[in-house]
Amino acid sequence: MTQETLLKISSSPHVHSGNSISAAMRDVIIALLPATALSIYFFGLYALAIIVTSIASCLLAEYASQKFRKVDITINDYSAALTGLLFALIIPPATPLWLVFIGGTISIVIGKQVFGGLGNNLFNPALVGRAILVASWPVYMTRFVSPFDGVTSATPLGIIGEINKQFAGGLIPDTNLMASLPPLSTLMTGSIAGSLGETSAIALILGGLYLIFKKHIDWKIPLLYISTVFTLALIFNGPYDRLWYATYNIFAGGLLIGAFFMATDWVTSPTTKKGRIIYAIGLGLLTFLIRKGAGLPEGVAYSIILMNMVTPLIDRYTRGRVFGEVKKHG
Amino acid sequence: MKKATFIGGTHIDSFKELTNTYESKKANPPDFVYIPLSQHIGSPCEAKLCVGEEVKMGQVIGKTLGFVSAPIHSSVSGKVVSIEKKAHPAGRFVDCIVIENDKQDTLDGSIVDEPQPEQLNKEQLLKKILDAGIVGLGGATFPTHVKYSPPADTIIDYIILNGIECEPFITADHRIMLEYPEEIVRGLDYILKTTGAKKGIIAIEDNKMDAIQKMNLVCDCHANIEVVICEEKYPQGSEKQLIYAVTNREVPVGGLPLDVGVIVNNVGTAKAICDAVEKNMPLIERMVTVSGTSVDTPSNYIARIGTLFSDLINQSGGYTEENNKIISGGLMMGKTMYSDEVPITKGTSAILVLKDDRKKAPKEQACVRCAKCIDACPAFLEPTRLAILTKRKEFDRLDTEQNIMSCIECGTCSYVCPANIPLVEYIRLGKLGVTKNKKK
Q: For residue range A144-163, what is the model confidence (pLDDT) as tens digits?
A: 999 998 889 889 999 988 88
Residues of A in contact with B362 (CB under 8 A): 20
Shortest distance, CA A219 to any CA of chain B (angstroms): 14
Interface test with A, best of B258, B262, B365 (most A CBs within 10 A): B365
Residue A167's pLDDT is 83
Q: What are the pLDDT digits (tens) for B315-344?
A: 999 999 888 899 999 999 999 998 899 999
Same domain assignment for residues B129 and B214: yes
Instruction: Please choose, from the candidates A54, A56, A68, the residue with its C-alpha nearest in 3D space to the C-alpha of residue A116.
Output: A68
Q: Does B364 touch chain A (CB under 8 A)?
A: no
B325/A8 CB distance under 8 A: yes
What one-character-per-residue DSSP string does B263-313 give? Answer: EEEEHHHHHHHHHHHHH---S-EEEEEEESTTBSS-EEEEEETT-BHHHHH
B93 and B51 within one domain = yes
Same domain, B264 and B311: no
Tell me if A13 and B331 make a contact (CB, 8 A cut-off): yes
User: Considering only CB atoms, which chain B residues are within 8 Å of A15?
Assistant: 12, 168, 331-332, 415
Which of B355, B390, B405 delimits the end of a domain? Answer: B355
Cα A88 to Cα A261: distance, rounded to the nearest angstrom: 13
| Mean pLDDT along residues A235-254 | 91
Q: Determine the Cα–Cα distance for residues A125 and A305; give it in Å rounded to an integer.
A: 10
C-alpha span between A139 and A95 (Å, rounded) = 10
Q: What CATH number is given to the structural domain containing B415?
A: 1.10.1060.10
Looking at the structure, do residues B121 and B258 belong to the same domain, yes or no? yes
Identify whether residues B60 and B119 lie together within a single domain: no
* Dihedral (CA of B325, B328, B332, B336) sign: negative
Which residues of chain B does A8 touch, with a Cβ-Cβ cutoff of 8 Å? Answer: 325, 336, 338, 356, 358
Q: What pLDDT does residue A149 have? A: 87
B390 interfaces chain A, CB cutoff of 8 Å: no
B25-26: strand order across its sheet:
B25-26, B299-304, B285-291, B350-355, B324-328, B335-337
Q: What are phi and psi of A15, to 5 degrees?
A: -150, 150
Query: Which H helix or E strand runs over B163?
Result: strand B158-163
Distance between CA atoms of residues B359 and B366, nearest Å: 20
Q: Which residues pair with B34 in a beta bridge?
A: B98
Residue in chain A lying closest to B410 (CA): A13
Q: Could you tell me the CATH number of the domain that includes residue B309? A: 3.10.20.600
Is a pLDDT exceeding 70 seen at residue A3? no
- What is the rounded (10 degree) CA torsion for B216, B221, B222, B223? 100
Which residues on chain A place their C-beta less than 8 Å from a C-beta of chain B?
Answer: 1, 3, 6-17, 19-21, 23-24, 116-120, 218, 266-269, 271-273, 319-326
Full domain range(s) for residue B407: 372-439
Residue B414 and residue A16 in contact, taking contact as beta carbons nearer than 8 Å: yes
- Residues B258 and B148: their CA atoms lie apart, in Å, by 10
Instruction: Please give the angle made by the CA atoms of A261, A262 and A264, to the nearest 5 degrees.
Output: 80
> Could you tell me if B362 lies within 8 Å of chain A, comparing CB atoms?
yes
CB < 8 Å to A1, chain B: 310, 339-341
Both B398 and B293 in one domain: the answer is no
Would you state the pLDDT for residue A75?
93
A vs B: CB pairs below 8 A: 146
Residue B236 located in a structural domain: yes
pLDDT of residue A100: 98
Distance CA A276, CA A269 (A): 7
**Type of residue found at A244:** W
B356 at the A interface (CB within 8 A)? Answer: yes
Which residues, at least 6 apart from B327, have a Cβ–Cβ distance to it below 8 Å? Answer: A14, B292, B334, B335, B336, B337, B350, B351, B352, B353, B354
Residue B51 lies in a domain: yes
CA distance B87 to B197: 39
Across all residues in chain A, what is the average pLDDT?
92
A103 and A91 in contact (C-beta within 8 Å)? yes
**Within this chain, do residues B143 and B254 fall inside the same structural domain, yes or no?**
yes
Q: Is residue B93 classed as helix, strand or coil in its secondary structure? A: strand
pLDDT for the residue A302: 95
Of B225, B257, B279, the residue that ends a domain is B279
Residue A330 pLDDT: 37
For B327, the closest chain A residue by CA position comes to A14
Domain end point (choices B246, B262, B279): B279
Per-residue pLDDT, averaged over B336-360, amounts to 90
| A130-139 pLDDT, tens digit each | 999 999 999 9
Closest Cα in chain B, distance from residue A78 (Å): 14
What residues of B are in contact with residue A325 (Cβ under 8 Å)? 252-253, 403
**Among A167-181, B32-46, B275-289, which stretch is predicted with the lowest mean pLDDT?**
A167-181
**pLDDT tens-digit map of B121-160:** 999 999 999 999 999 998 889 999 999 999 888 899 999 9
Residue A2 pLDDT > 80, yes or no?
A: no
Q: Check CB contact under 8 Å for B332 and A14.
A: yes
Q: Which of residues 399-428 of B touch A (CB under 8 A)?
A: 403, 406, 409, 411, 414-420, 422, 424-425, 428
Which chain B residue has its CA at the smallest distance from A22's CA?
A: B418
pLDDT of residue A296: 82
- Facing B378 at nearest CB: one of A14, A271, A323: A323
B97 to chain A, closest Cα gap in Å: 20
In a domain, B109, yes or no: no
ipTM field: 0.89
Nearest-Å Rg of the Cα atoms of chain B is: 22
State the total domains in chain B: 3
Q: How far is B309 from chain A (nearest CA, A)?
A: 11
B287 Cβ contact partners less than 8 Å away, ≥ 6 residues apart: B24, B172, B173, B175, B176, B268, B300, B301, B302, B303, B349
Residue B348 lies in a domain: yes
B222 at the A interface (CB within 8 A)? no
Helix boundaries (H) for chain A: 21-43, 45-69, 79-89, 97-109, 125-136, 138-141, 156-168, 175-179, 184-189, 201-213, 220-235, 242-251, 255-257, 273-293, 300-317
Cβ distance B370 to A24 less than 8 Å, yes or no, reads yes
How far apart CA B123 and CA A256 sit, in angstroms, is 69
> Nearest CA of chain B to the CA of A193: how many Å?
34
Q: In what order do the strands lie in the sheet with B93-101?
A: B32-36, B93-101, B78-87, B54-55
Is residue B22 one of the residues assigned to a domain? no
Residues B275 and B288 in one domain: no
Of the partner residues A3, A12, A120, the one whose CB lies closest to the CB of residue B334: A12
Strand, helix or coil at A98? Answer: helix
The yes-or-no verdict on residue A4 having pLDDT over 60 is: no
Residue A327 DSSP SS3: coil
Bridging pattern class, strands B78-87 and B93-101: antiparallel
What is the model's pLDDT at position B1? 58
B128: in domain: yes
Sign of CA dihedral B292, B298, B302, B308: negative
Chain A residue numbers touching B244 (CB-CB < 8 A)? 323
For residues A318-329, average pLDDT:
76
- CB atoms B339 and A118 under 8 Å: no
User: Is B327 in contact with A14 (Cβ distance < 8 A)?
Assistant: yes
Beta-carbon separation of B366 and A119 below 8 A: yes
Average confidence (pLDDT) over B249-266: 93
> What's the number of CA atoms in the CB half-sphere (13 Å) around residue B87?
17
The predicted-structure confidence for B181-239, as pLDDT tens digits, reads as follows: 999 999 999 999 999 999 999 999 999 999 999 999 999 889 999 999 999 999 999 99
Closest A-chain CA to B332: A13
Instruction: Note whether B336 contacts A16, CB cutoff 8 Å.
Output: no
If one counts every other C-beta atom within 10 angstroms of the C-beta of residue B408, the result is 18
Contact with chain A for residue B341, Cβ under 8 A: yes
Q: Considering only residues 234 to 273 of chain B, which have any Cβ-Cβ distance to chain A shorter than 8 Å?
A: 240, 244, 250-255
Maximum alpha-carbon separation in chain B: 65
Strand partners, B287: B302
Residues B125, B95 share a domain: no
Query: Do B252 and A321 make contact, defined as CB atoms within 8 angstroms?
Result: no
The pLDDT of A232-243, averaged and rounded, is 90
DSSP calls for B139-162: TT--BHHHHT---TT----EEEEE
Q: In sequence order, which residues have a C-beta less than 8 Å from that of residue B165 and are 6 or more positions away?
A: B171, B172, B173, B174, B205, B208, B237
Burial class (CB in 10 A: 0-12, 13-18, 19+), A110: middle
DSSP A155: -
How many Å lie between the alpha carbon of A130 and the closest alpha carbon of chain B? Answer: 22
Same-domain check for residues B201 and B305: no
CA distance A217 to A260: 8
Indicate the pLDDT class of residue A328, thresholds 50, 70 and 90.
very low
Phi first, then psi, for residue B93 (nearest 5°) are: -100, 130
User: Which tens digit of pLDDT belongs to each residue from B74-99?
Assistant: 999 999 999 999 888 887 889 999 99
Out of A8, A116, A323, closest to residue B406 by CB: A323
End-to-end CA distance of chain A: 58
Q: Residue A327 pLDDT > 60, yes or no? A: no
Pairing of strands B158-163, B199-205: parallel
Please give the pLDDT value at position B92. 83
β pairing state of B285-291 and B350-355: parallel
pLDDT reading at A57 higher than 50 = yes
Please tell me the distance from the alpha carbon of residue B108 to that of residue B96, in angstroms, as a whole number. Answer: 20
Q: Please give the Cα distance from B284 to B106 (Å, whole number).
A: 13
Any domain includes B11: no
Q: Cβ distance B94 to B80 under 8 Å?
A: no
Q: What is the pLDDT of residue B103?
A: 93
Residue A63 has pLDDT above 70, yes or no: yes
Q: B259 and B166, same structural domain?
A: yes
Our measurement of the distance from residue A267's CA atom to the centroid of its chain's CA atoms, rounded to an integer in Å, reads 13
Q: Which residues of A touch B322 (CB under 8 A)?
A: none
Q: Which residues of chain B lie closer than 8 angstroms to A263, CB-CB? A: none
Q: Return the pLDDT at A239.
A: 83
Average pLDDT over residues B258-283: 96
Mean predicted confidence (pLDDT) in A158-175: 84
Within 8 A of B331 by CB-CB distance, chain A residues are 12-15
Q: Is A314 exposed, middle or buried (0-12, 13-18, 19+ CB in 10 A)?
A: buried
Residue among B336, B414, B415 whose CB faces A9 most closely: B336
Q: pLDDT by residue (tens digit) across B114-125?
A: 999 989 999 999
Arithmetic mean of pLDDT, B107-112: 93
- For the beta carbon of residue B100, count every other beta carbon within 10 angstroms: 16
Residue B121, burial from CB neighbour count under 10 angstroms (0-12, 13-18, 19+) = exposed
Q: How far apart are CA A47 and CA A49, in angstroms?
A: 5
DSSP state of A219: T
Q: What is the mean pLDDT of chain B?
A: 93
Contacts of residue B167, defined as CB under 8 A and 6 or more positions apart, other chains included, come to: B234, B237, B329, B330, B331, B332, B333, B334, B350
Residue B367 at interface with chain A, using a CB cutoff of 8 Å: yes
Based on the domain organization, do B269 and B124 belong to the same domain? yes
What's the pLDDT band for A5 if we cut at 50, 70, 90?
A: low
Residue type, A152: T
CATH number, domain with residue B230: 3.40.50.11540
Does residue A329 have a pLDDT over 70?
no
Kindly tell me if the per-residue pLDDT of B356 is higher than 90. Answer: no
Inter-chain contact B251–A325, Cβ cutoff 8 Å?
no
Q: A172: pLDDT confidence band, cut at 50, 70 and 90?
A: confident
In a domain, B62, yes or no: yes
Name the residue among B432, B424, B336, B333 with its Cα closest to residue B376.
B424
Give the integer Cα–Cα distance in Å for A5 and A3.
5
